[in-house]
Amino acid sequence: MTTNTAIKLVKRPTGGPITRELFEIVELPITRPKDGEILIKQQHLSLDPAMFGWMSPDTESYIPPVALGDVMRSSGIGEVIESNHPDYAVGDRVMGMMGWQHYYLGDGQGLNKVTAPLPNEAVLSVFALPGLTATQGLFNVGKPKKGETIIVTGAAGSVGSIVGQLAKAEGLTVIGVVGSDEKAAWIVNELGFDAAINYKSANLAAQLAQHTPQGIDLFFENTGGEIQPLIFERINAHGRVIVCGLIADYAKEVPSPGPSWLNVIKKRISIQGFTMPDHFHQVPELLAKLSPYVMAGQIKHRSHVLEGLEASIEGLNLFFSGANKGKLIVKL
């Protein structure tokens, strides 16, 4: 332990892939904890689509952007290696927003101890942002009812895969939209989705009609893209759209338009966006809602682990290509 390697954001993306030149890799001194502080050695960090929002200059967003020159924001999990804080002991496992760096110094604010007997990858894949987001969006925004049909885009992604499994456990018919045949097979055969549609295949409208003969009651949107208006067209009266992500638009200078609001009137549709920072105060109840499904073995996951801090940069582009297989995690 000599220096703390960290990656700072120095330029904002302007569309297109994430490149090395947006960042600066630096060696920082390791500051020892003062009274009330702890030093954590981060072991795994999470890559999430929310990061595109954090890098963007839009100050109207739900969370301030990362300032240029600051260490890039991310959540992660690690071990306390020095403590001058009464609530933390050396060896404690801790989760929180520790950023793209090996060592994190803090006063405990915003950190949570991890006591679940699960490997780091499982904690970051299910109990961190993805599981909280899926639980809040599906239950509190979407208000699913047994027997309804839900369609989930980004269905093999970290959030979508949990949404679909929770909905299945609640007795809904669950259709997933994915970007490869391998992912389609995984969500149907391993996760128990009723059907999958590869959005890169042909005849999307016909596939949607085939798999949603009763129309669509709930649309959990993680991606955007050309299939969005086709899905929207099949939404039933009083349908609900939960808008969680639009990965297909994050790298575009001009985002694609949304569907006409004509059907919003005719079918009395509601479209509701949400982001987790509004709901951090609800984390205990969200975890209480989610945990029984996990304990009952109803929530499977898979992680796509990259090696080494610098892999974070190129790793973000996997969200655009969809080439990741499971929750993106960087092992430090």
Beta bridge partners of 176: 152, 196
Our finding on whether 181 is near a copy of itself (CB under 8 A) is no
Per the CB < 8 A criterion, the answer to whether 215 and 201 are in contact is: no
Helix (H) or strand (E) holding 321: helix 311-321
Please pick, from the candidates 79, 107, 249, 310, the single residue that binds a copy of itself as defined by CB under 8 A. 249
Q: Which of 274, 282, 302, 325 binds a copy of itself (CB under 8 A)?
A: 274
Nearest to 114 by CA among 86, 88, 92: 92
255 binds a copy of itself (CB under 8 A): yes
Residue 232 CB, nearest approach to a copy of itself (Å): 9
Q: Is 258 in the site for a copy of itself (CB under 8 A)?
A: yes
Residue 257 lies near a copy of itself (rule: CB under 8 A): yes
Interaction of residue 292 with a copy of itself, rule CB under 8 A? no
Report CA-CA distances (Å) from 191 to 165, 301, 303: 6, 8, 14
Q: What is the 3-state secondary structure (H, E, C) of 17-44?
A: CCCHHHEEEEEEECCCCCCCCEEEEEEE
Both structure tokens of 260: 């006409």
Q: Does 214 bind a copy of itself (CB under 8 A)?
A: no
Give the separation between CA 20 and CA 88, rounded to whole angstroms. Answer: 36
| 43 CA to centre of own chain | 19
Least distance (Å) from a copy of itself to the CB of residue 185?
A: 29
Beta strands 93-96 and 76-83 are antiparallel
Nearer to a copy of itself (CB atom), residue 20 or residue 238? 238
What ranges make up the beta strands (E) of 146-226? Answer: 149-153, 173-178, 195-198, 216-221
Does 270 sit near a copy of itself (CB under 8 A)?
A: yes
Please give the size of the binding site for a copy of itself, defined by CB under 8 A: 35
Contact string 37-76 vs a copy of itself (x = CB under 8 A): ----------------x----x-xxx--------------
**Tokens for 133?**
């987001």
**8 vs 73, beta carbon nearer a copy of itself:** 73
Say whether residue 260 binds a copy of itself (CB under 8 A).
yes
Q: Based on the shown chain and the rule CB under 8 A, indicate whether residue 275 belongs to the binding site for a copy of itself.
A: yes
SS (H, E, C) 212-244: CCCCEEEEEECCCCCHHHHHHHCEEEEEEEEEC
Q: Which is nearer to a copy of itself, 241 or 330 (CB)?
A: 241
298 contacts a copy of itself (rule: CB under 8 A): no
Q: Which of residues 228-247 bind a copy of itself (CB under 8 A)?
A: 237, 243-246
d(CA 34, CA 113): 20
Piece of the chain touching a copy of itself by CB under 8 A; list 12-20, 67-75, 248-256, 317-325: 248-256
Residue with Cβ nearer a copy of itself (262 or 296): 262
**Residue among 34 and 268 whose Cβ is closer to a copy of itself:** 268
Name the site residues for a copy of itself (rule: CB under 8 A): 53, 58, 60-62, 221, 224, 237, 243-246, 249, 255-275, 278
